[in-house]
Amino acid sequence: MSLAAQVQSGDRRALSRAITCVENGDPEARGLLEELYPRVGKARRIGFTGPPGVGKSTLVSELARHWRAAGKTVGIVAVDPSSPFTGGALLGDRIRMNAIGTDPGVFIRSMATRGALGGLARATYDVCDVLDAAGKDVVLVETVGVGQSEIEIVRVADTTVVILSPESGDGVQAMKSGLMEIADVIVINKADRPGADALETQIRSSFELSTSRRPPELVQTAAATGKGIAEAASAIEAHTEKLEKDGALRDHRAARLRFRIGRLVEEALSRRLSHDAAAAAWLDERVDRVLAGRMTPGDAAEEMLDRLTAGPGRGTAPRPARLAR
């Protein structure tokens, strides 16, 4: 039985091996994903982001417990900062989620960002696909929580949940970083502490002044005690159900795929350039010309794109539109 077939049969060890394969970019990863992809698209993908210290892991853990009680299977991708020495995940969310870690209906994977921007590991998209193909009903993605770059979570999730707390000026921080613009649901966690109502008022006022979008659903929770978890889950489910009813879920996923395919093209071109000694030498020559003022960086980029996309024996590809200087 192939690894993909074992994943689809519910073998947890096979699922772990498959995720390691795609995360490490092993040669077998592409074939594995191709075999799994016909099963992708059924899981609801929910992203969680917000400033550090707002209780993202606790909230995700409690929501997972809630959906398990409703009979749903859950996959969790917890994206942690990378160790500068090993490249591994520093925080280890599986340790912080001990309460659900032994549930056979929950699969938790901690991943290191490995320097990727946006608070997400490059392989996050693929890992979500593997969990989806493995039959998980809900896939939860928790990001690092490092500020403005967190907005890339919208490239992964059907529904984006922004988590704030009454402490440390999180409301102002979120508005400055653009997190409010991507929120489908806003959760004020640690709402049993002073300032929760004031933060909610502040957030609602900020949306009243904006005409660019409809205000997201706003829920107060105290995840450590279980308060508000059912309400948060209901708000998340209502958003994804509305997307599906309006026909916007497919459009949203199509936009995600366009971005993802474009990103893969960029990475493929970058890899080809870094592994092609002749192309590297050719690029050095163009750098010398740019330094000497004999051509512009834009012209050099166009010529490099022609060279990389032409392929062996195919000559020069049609010249694309001139790049912006």
Q: 36 - beta bridge partners? A: none
Domain that holds residue 28: 1-39
The residue with greater pLDDT, 149 or 307, is 307
74 & 156 share domain: yes
How far is it, in rounded angstroms, from Cα 180 to Cα 16?
A: 34
Its pTM stands at 0.83
Measured in whole angstroms, how far is the alpha carbon of residue 96 from the centre of its chain? Answer: 20
Measured in whole angstroms, how far is the alpha carbon of residue 28 from the centre of its chain? Answer: 23
Place of tokens 């502040």: 202
- Exposed / middle / buried, residue 245 (Cβ in 10 Å: 0-12, 13-18, 19+): exposed
Contact 256, 124 (CB under 8 A): no
How far is it, in rounded angstroms, from Cα 155 to Cα 124?
A: 10
Of 148, 146, 140, the closest CA to residue 53 belongs to 146
- pLDDT at residue 310, rounded to an integer: 73
Q: Tell me the per-residue pLDDT of 71-128, one tens digit each, with 9 for 90 and over.
A: 999 999 988 654 433 444 444 444 556 678 789 999 999 886 654 444 466 688 999 9
152 & 24 share domain: no
Q: What is the mean pLDDT of residues 133-152?
A: 80
- Exposed / middle / buried, residue 79 (Cβ in 10 Å: 0-12, 13-18, 19+): buried
308 has a pLDDT exceeding 80: no
248 has a pLDDT exceeding 60: yes
31 & 51 share domain: no
How far is it, in rounded angstroms, from Cα 5 to Cα 295?
A: 54
Of 122, 140, 174, the closest CA to residue 57 belongs to 140
Residue type at 314? R
Contact 63, 75 (CB under 8 A): no
How confident is the prediction for the chain on average, in pLDDT? Answer: 83
DSSP for 289-317 reads: HHHTTSS-HHHHHHHHHHHHHH-TTS-PP
Q: Give the percent of the chain with pLDDT over 90.
A: 51
For CA atoms 142, 80, 93, 59, the dihedral sign is negative
Per DSSP, helices labelled H in the chain are: 3-8, 12-23, 29-36, 56-69, 93-96, 98-101, 124-133, 170-177, 179-182, 196-208, 229-246, 248-275, 277-291, 297-310
- pLDDT at residue 277, rounded to an integer: 85
Residue 180 lies inside a defined structural domain of this protein: yes
64 & 162 share domain: yes
25 & 47 share domain: no
12 & 55 share domain: no
Residues 6+ apart with CB under 8 A from 55: 163, 165, 189, 190, 223, 224
How far is it, in rounded angstroms, from Cα 290 to Cα 135?
A: 53
Q: Per-residue confidence at 2, pLDDT binned at 50, 70, 90?
A: very high
The residue with greater pLDDT, 276 or 17, is 17
Q: Per-residue confidence at 297, pLDDT binned at 50, 70, 90?
A: very high
The token pair at 41 is 């698209």
- pLDDT at residue 202, rounded to an integer: 87
316 has a pLDDT exceeding 50: no
6 & 133 share domain: no
Residue 292 lies inside a defined structural domain of this protein: no
DSSP, res 10: T
For the chain, the domain total comes to 2
Measured in whole angstroms, how far is the alpha carbon of residue 140 from the centre of its chain? Answer: 10
3 has a pLDDT exceeding 90: yes
Contact 188, 218 (CB under 8 A): yes
- pLDDT at residue 282, rounded to an integer: 86
* DSSP-based three-state secondary structure for 53: coil
222 & 74 share domain: yes
Measured between alpha carbons, how far is residue 166 from residues 163, 180, 209, 222, 230 in Å? 11, 15, 21, 11, 20
Helix 29-36 to helix 12-23 angle (10° resolution) is 130
Domain boundary among 246, 267, 297: 246
How far is it, in rounded angstroms, from Cα 311 to Cα 315?
A: 7
Residue type at 104? P
Domain boundary among 221, 246, 271: 246
